[in-house]
A and B are shown apart, each in its own frame.
Chain A
Amino acid sequence: MSGFKTSGVFGLVLLISIGAQADGILVLKSQNSEPYTQALNGFREACGGQPTEIDLAGSKSRKDYFVKHISANKPRLIVALGPLAAKMAQEEAKDIPVIFLMVSNPVRRGLKGDNIAGVSLDIPVSVQFTNYKVLLPKLRTIGVIYDPTKTATIIEEAQVAAKNLELELAAIAVDSPREVPRALTGLLNKGIDALWMVPDETVVTPESFKFLLGETSKRLLPFLAASDIFVEVGALAALTPDYKDAGRQGYDLVKAIDRGEQNLADLGTRPPAKVNLVLNMKTASKIGLRVPEELVESASKVY
């Protein structure tokens, strides 16, 4: 297998480095999935080389191999893709700078310190609201249902963002999917202009999603989803981080460190620089929304 070295025990894959910019960089992947592949491709394209890779295949059992590898090869920098890799790199490679990518809510996961910085998957609520105001010029009151044990921090951030953008946030807390219908009724009584979905697994279940989609459709209410998969089946729009660009952004951090412009402690966590708008134009048409042509053209995906 030219260019590959395979561990028979763990099935770990190492890609031999080529290209000067990639020298000394170790990429530690949590697992091999499509979003991680996109991010890694972005990183590779930016650095113009093939950094060494270790795939944890979604399991902590590869930790020993990782530790042995960094001990033997002494990489100058680790790029960790996903929470598992980021946490392992943070804990096991304390003397090596770590740049994490593809991690949601990194602060809650404890991914902060002097040897770690990175790019979060979380799109700032202010960015979301700003974009949605362009899509929905008449947007004044935005409704959201959330579980305080899961997404309280997002709602706190949303309250601030809404205030800054002269929006009103109507938020109703639930602790079970069964409460979603009642919560939606409460929001409708408040006269919301759109329903905003947050990535809250208590609120969004297959059943509750169908209910929310059906009710918002009935009332010709824009439904702003937390993932593009919901737009495909009828929600109006979603904003998603551009995974490939997150990889490119990760390499920007590497360059900044290499040039000595910034140290890790100052870098901290950065939001994704590029977000993709996904639109469902059939839904827009059904609810009587005219979407500006330039917005449609800027969308990464249109259904």
Chain B
Amino acid sequence: MRTRASFRIHSFASRTKNLLLSLAVLLFFFREASEAAVPLSELISGLYGGNGITLGAATRHDAHFTRESGDALNQLNDRLGTDFGVFPFNSSAGNFSFAFDADLGTFVSTTDTLGPIFAERAPTVGRGKWNVSFYATFFDYDEFNGQNLHDLHVEALHQPDEPPQFDPDGPIRGKRSGFELDTLDINVDIDASVRIFSPAVTFGLTDKLDVSVFFPIVDVDMDVRSYYRLNISPLNPTPDIHLTNVVDGAEAPADRASGSATGIGDIVLGAKYQFYKSGTLDLAGAFLAQLANGDKDNFLGSGDNTLRPFLVASRTFRALGGSPLNLTPHVNMGYEFNVDNFDRSAFEYIVGFDAGTRRVTLASELLGSHNQEGEDRFDAAVGVKWNVYKRLVLLGNVIFPLNDTGLRSDLITTLGVGMSF
């Protein structure tokens, strides 16, 4: 005889299996679609034919900007590329828990709020319980290290005549004089729009241990426009030597490239174990492994495998100020080991709170990181979760940057829906 409990678990497992299979088919399709396109990581470096900018020459002098300008664009491309494909992901909503209320002489629910946005809180979903969510995240990249992505400037120097210790693979150094003091100002305007559709599943292996998987499908549109200007040095005694007219053999100053890619992003596997629980404080240890399966060449993944152990602490204050509101401050603190590039490893933390009831919860968080290269990133997040029907939860949140480090969006918007079984 099939029991109700086993039927439920079997039924949900079956549904989840079907969901994942459908997703796999979908992802295969997306991956094929992205592979057919020009890799997005080559859009910037591929400007001006991909071999730098060649100017026209008024005399027998060659325009020695080619390699420098190519290097400058490649460096910009590399710096942008390291930050593409790094996306935040939401935490799961809480599940059913209860406690005995001696005053009322009965059991009351202790699922006080719907939980944080990106942080984890210590309580787990419970043995045999599922939390299935789907998130849609939208944003445009706006700035890189504080510079407007629509108005990036890259300076290309002229190759010196006799560079000392010439290194064919390194930057061109050496002493410049005369017309070698002319420079090219390459103005790059980048439109990069990202949409992430991410199913996430959390399952309670035991009452204290959750495992989870986050399965992002990433869609990136990128449009790059560039325009170069020749800056003639006042110290150049032959200011007419470098020419930018196409008729003189120069590459056209304006160039443009665009493309898009859709496919699976970096899959994240997680586990959380609640090892301490009291009336005042809950503690858990958690572990996230982010796989470098996303196509880095198309900015769908980070290209790095990372391991992230972290500690979770949360505390719930019930009936705040005598109101029906509950408040749960939470802290996540850990270290992200970048297996492929240790310099990009970082100390990470989230500090925040969620406040509200089982019906509506408002949450706010500070997300910070300090990497091995000494760079700090700070973001703020604000979000709302709404239990619209039974165990169906809708959520919306925004992230905005608090400093300029790296590639940033002015506003990252996420909408989601989640359900616990």
Which bracket fits the contact residues of B?
20 to 34
Report if A218-B105 is in contact (Cβ < 8 Å); known contacts: A33-B324, A199-B100, A210-B127.
no
- Residues of chain A with a CB closer than 8 A to B96's CB: 229, 232-233
* Chain B: CB-nearest residue to A214: B5
- Using Cβ atoms and an 8 Å threshold, which residues of chain A touch B107? 199, 204, 226-227, 229-230
Q: How large is the interface on A (under 10, 10 to 19, 20 to 34, 35 or more residues)?
A: 35 or more
Candidates B1, B108, B126, B322; contact of A55 at CB < 8 Å: B322
Known: A55-B322, A229-B107. A206 touches B3 (CB 8 A): no
Once A31-B322, A218-B4 are accepted as A-B contacts, the answer to whether A227 and B106 lie under 8 Å apart by CB is: yes
Q: Is B19 among interface residues, defined by CB-CB distance under 8 A? A: no
Contact among A37, A57, A229, A234 for B324, CB-based, below 8 A = A37
Q: Does A35 contact B (CB under 8 A)?
A: yes
CA distance A151 to B46 in the complex (A): 78
Residues of chain B lying within 8 A (CB to CB) of residue A82: 103
Closest to B129 in A: A210
The answer to whether B388 has its CB under 8 Å from any CB of chain A is no
B59 contacts partner chain A, Cβ-Cβ < 8 Å? no
Q: Which of A31, A33, A201, A219 contacts B100 (CB 8 A)?
A: A201
> Count the A-B residue pairs with Cβ separation under 8 angstroms: how many?
85
Task: Tell me the smallest distance from the CB of B114 to a CB of chain A, in Å.
Answer: 15
* Residues of A4-30 whose CB lies within 8 A of B: 11, 13, 30
- Cβ-based interface call for B22 (8 A): no
Which of A121, A207, A230 interacts with B105 by CB under 8 Å?
A121
Please give the distance in Å from A275's CB to the nearest CB on chain B: 12
The answer for the CA separation of A121 and B103 in the assembled complex, in Å, is 10
The complex places the Cα of A230 from the Cα of B98 at a distance, in Å, of 9
- By secondary structure, the B interface counts as loop
Q: A33-B324, A214-B3 are in contact. Are A229 and B98 (CB under 8 A)?
A: yes
B128 within 8 Å of A (CB atoms): yes
- The A-contacting residues of B in range 1-28, CB under 8 angstroms, are 1, 3-6
Q: Are A121 and B104 in contact (CB under 8 A)?
A: yes
Q: Which A residues are CB-close (under 8 A) to B372?
A: none
The 10 closest A-B pairs by CB, nearest first: A104-B105, A32-B322, A217-B4, A218-B3, A201-B100, A214-B5, A227-B107, A229-B109, A217-B5, A227-B106
Jot down 29 A-B pairs with beta carbons below 8 A, ordered by A.
A31-B322, A32-B322, A33-B324, A34-B324, A57-B322, A82-B103, A84-B103, A102-B103, A104-B106, A121-B105, A199-B100, A199-B106, A207-B127, A209-B98, A210-B126, A214-B3, A214-B5, A217-B4, A218-B3, A227-B106, A229-B96, A229-B107, A229-B108, A229-B109, A230-B98, A233-B96, A283-B4, A286-B4, A287-B4
